[in-house]
Amino acid sequence: MTFHAKFSGYADPALHAMGLYIGGKWQSGSGITVLDPSTGNLLAEVADAAIEDAQRAVDAADAAAAGWRATPPRQRSEILRRWYQLMTQHAEELATLIALENGKALADARGEVAYAAEFFRWYAEEATRIPGEFRHTPSGSHNILVDHEPIGIAVLITPWNFPAAMATRKIGPALAAGCTVILKPASETPLTAYAMARLGEEAGVPPGVVNVLTTSNPGGITNAMLADPRVRKLSFTGSTGVGRVLLAEAAKSVVSCSMELGGNAPFIVFDDADLEAALDGAMIAKMRNAGEACTAANRFYVQAGIHDAFVAGLTARMKSLKIGPGYDPETQCGPMITQNAVRKIDRLVSEALAAGARATTGGKPLTENGYFYPPTVLENVPVNASIAREEIFGPVAPVYKFESDDEAIRLANNTEYGLAAYIYSRDLKRAMKVGKRIETGMLGINRGLMSDPAAPFGGVKHSGLGREGGVTGILEFMEPKYYAVDY
Ligand code: NAP
């Protein structure tokens, strides 16, 4: 791994990890360049794993598996707890790394580190509460004993938008369950993953229990690992398109899959909502990570009576945001991850404008260096525009006017996705009644933020399979074993 001088000046040298992490050993290399999205300049170059490296990672995870499975839950718990503490101690350096390689504003990066570390604390606690079951058969013929065993070696694939939290949300429950893992972070943001692996080493994670690989050949490497009969779990967070490809690949070896995929969250504001609260919630739901979140509000459905006041309030708030590099402490809206991301946002906004939408602020990419798109509000957007169907993944808030509850529900459900949704109303009964009819895995009622390590995170429809976090998250990494017992 090579560090660019600018990067070395920002990051704590203790977290300058040395490339592929396999079987407790660091293997330096090059081939994958990491860019600063606020300038397009080189930050660092990391190793590019080949298929043989992935096979060595599976060997290492296999060699460590029996020992880790036999490690008492209390001991596994204490290692996770130490990892949580080390992440908390190094929170500022980790947040700087995230702001550098991902571009998000430091405040968002700090929030991510705290959220990410909480998964280790939560699963340190859950490691000691692995459930079992005892039942009598209705016929009285025998007894039913259900144990939960670690599922086996898990391959974990994560996206660039939460480089710390998407990794800990998988590693925490996997290690708590007794599984060994191979993490493949996104190529845009590998530095955070390697820095966290360094802290894991310091926390006492035994060699081979956590392995980390970066690669320019994610398909080839993943297919090779899924074809190895020792790999029994794939936990993926990323786009629905790649998720579909991986589900098909995993089917060949009948590997258990957890899929956290794309979203297209509706944000519904009823006439009876508290306007200021709805605007506060809208800013969080839209602008956390500058809109680069799977739970980001993608479609604002606002009832006719409150519509104009909402658009005016949202426009004023979006206009006031300071744009800049994530690592500048003044920044509130950082760059997008790549130039391609800016192009996609530009296409969606241009198509909406051509179809009759009006931008009350923003509406065009910024022309300075780096991958910037300004906070944008669109009104009068046609409900069938491509911006209503595709994930925007940027700081653009399209607002649509509706009249009745039934119309809001119909519009909200008019998508292949079903990850997150938001409702603002002072009438809780109405919000709950509408919420019951929204096809979603998660629903924020009078809240713009729902992520919490103690809650089950995940979607319905094409947004995924399974849940991460909460008390059930650990079961994604376990197999129930039924003992029919007669005595
Ligand atoms: P992506 O393109 O699907 O990539 C995600 C990860 O998959 C990266 O590590 C990527 O590696 C890897 N990958 C790409 N092609 C692969 C293949 N053929 N085989 C194996 N791995 C492959 O998604 P992204 O653009 O990074 O992330 C944004 C997406 O993630 C959005 O759709 C967002 O909604 C979703 N997301 C969902 C959740 C959730 O919890 N539901 C959370 C966060 C993000 P490379 O980087 O090397 O290409």
Higher-confidence residue: 17 or 133?
Answer: 133
Same domain, 416 and 480: no
Q: What is the CATH number of the domain that holds 41?
A: 3.40.605.10
Same domain, 217 and 327: no
- Residue 12 pLDDT greater than 60, yes or no: no
pLDDT tens figures, 443-465: 999 999 999 999 999 999 999 99
The reply to whether 294 belongs to the active site is: yes
CA of 239 to the centre of ligand 1 (A): 5
Annotated catalytic residue: which of 294, 333, 379, 391? 294
How far is residue 384's CA from residue 147's CA, in Å, rounded to a whole number? 49
Cα-based angle 276, 278, 281 (whole degrees, multiple of 5): 110
The reply to whether 292 belongs to the active site is: no
Instruction: Say if ligand 1 is within 6 A of residue 102 CB.
Output: no
Q: Phi then psi for 462, rounded to 5 degrees? A: -85, 15
Same domain, 257 and 290: no
pLDDT above 90 covers a percentage of the chain that reads 95
H/E segment holding residue 460: none
Instruction: List, in order, residues 6 or more apart from 248 with CB less than 8 Å away.
Output: none
H/E segment holding residue 143: strand 143-150
Question: From residue 336, how far is each of 345, 451, 472 by CA, in Å?
Answer: 10, 22, 33
Mean pLDDT throughout 146-155?
Answer: 98
Q: For position 2, what pLDDT does the model report?
A: 52
Same domain, 358 and 405: yes
On whether residue 40 sits in a domain, the answer given is yes
CA of 394 to the centre of ligand 1 (A): 16
Instruction: Say if ligand 1 is within 6 A of residue 281 CB.
Output: no
CA of 161 to the centre of ligand 1 (A): 9
Mean pLDDT throughout 54-75?
Answer: 98
Q: Which residue has the tokens 């290692």?
A: 79
CA of 70 to the centre of ligand 1 (A): 33
Identify which of 294, 264, 269 has the alpha carbon closest to the alpha carbon of residue 281.
269
Tell me how many domains the chain contains: 2
Q: HSE of 346 in the Cβ direction (CA atoms, 13 Å)?
A: 14
pLDDT tens figures, 387-422: 999 999 999 999 999 999 999 999 999 999 999 999
On whether residue 91 sits in a domain, the answer given is yes
Q: For position 19, what pLDDT does the model report?
A: 86
How far is residue 472's CA from residue 459's CA, in Å, rounded to a whole number? 14
Query: What ligand 1 atom has the least distance to the C-alpha of 337?
Result: 25
Instruction: Say if ligand 1 is within 6 A of residue 222 CB.
Output: yes
Instruction: Say if ligand 1 is within 6 A of residue 289 CB.
Output: no
Annotated catalytic residue: which of 112, 260, 292, 468? 260
Q: What is the CATH number of the domain that holds 344?
A: 3.40.309.10
Same domain, 413 and 296: yes
Tokens for 452, please give them. 């919490």
Q: For position 369, what pLDDT does the model report?
A: 86
Same domain, 170 and 183: yes
Tokens for 298, please give them. 């993608």
pLDDT mean across residues, the chain: 96
Q: For position 399, what pLDDT does the model report?
A: 98
On whether residue 457 sits in a domain, the answer given is no
Residue minimizing CA distance to atom 18 of ligand 1: 219
Same domain, 315 and 396: yes
Instruction: Say if ligand 1 is within 6 A of residue 261 CB.
Output: yes
Same domain, 100 and 130: yes
Same domain, 311 and 179: no
- Residue 5 pLDDT greater than 70, yes or no: no
Q: For position 419, what pLDDT does the model report?
A: 98
Identify which of 389, 363, 395 has the alpha carbon closest to the alpha carbon of residue 378.
363
Mean pLDDT throughout 360-379?
Answer: 95
Instruction: Say if ligand 1 is within 6 A of residue 187 CB.
Output: yes
Q: For position 368, what pLDDT does the model report?
A: 76
Query: What ligand 1 atom has the least distance to the C-alpha of 459?
Result: 41
pLDDT tens figures, 236-288: 999 999 999 999 999 999 999 999 999 999 999 999 999 999 999 999 999 99
Q: Which residue has the tokens 């170059």?
A: 45
pLDDT band at 11 (very low <50, low <70, confident <90, very high): low
- Residue of 157, 255, 259 to mutate, ligand 1, most atoms within 8 A of C-beta: 157
CA of 236 to the centre of ligand 1 (A): 8
Query: What ligand 1 atom has the least distance to the C-alpha of 419?
Result: 41
On whether residue 458 sits in a domain, the answer given is no
- Residue of 162, 187, 223, 237 to mutate, ligand 1, most atoms within 8 A of C-beta: 237
Residue minimizing CA distance to atom 46 of ligand 1: 186
Instruction: Say if ligand 1 is within 6 A of residue 237 CB.
Output: yes
DSSP state at residue 168: H
Residue minimizing CA distance to atom 21 of ligand 1: 218
Instruction: Say if ligand 1 is within 6 A of residue 186 CB.
Output: yes
Q: For position 487, what pLDDT does the model report?
A: 85
Q: 120 is in which domain, residue-wise?
A: 4-261+463-485
Instruction: Say if ligand 1 is within 6 A of residue 150 CB.
Output: no
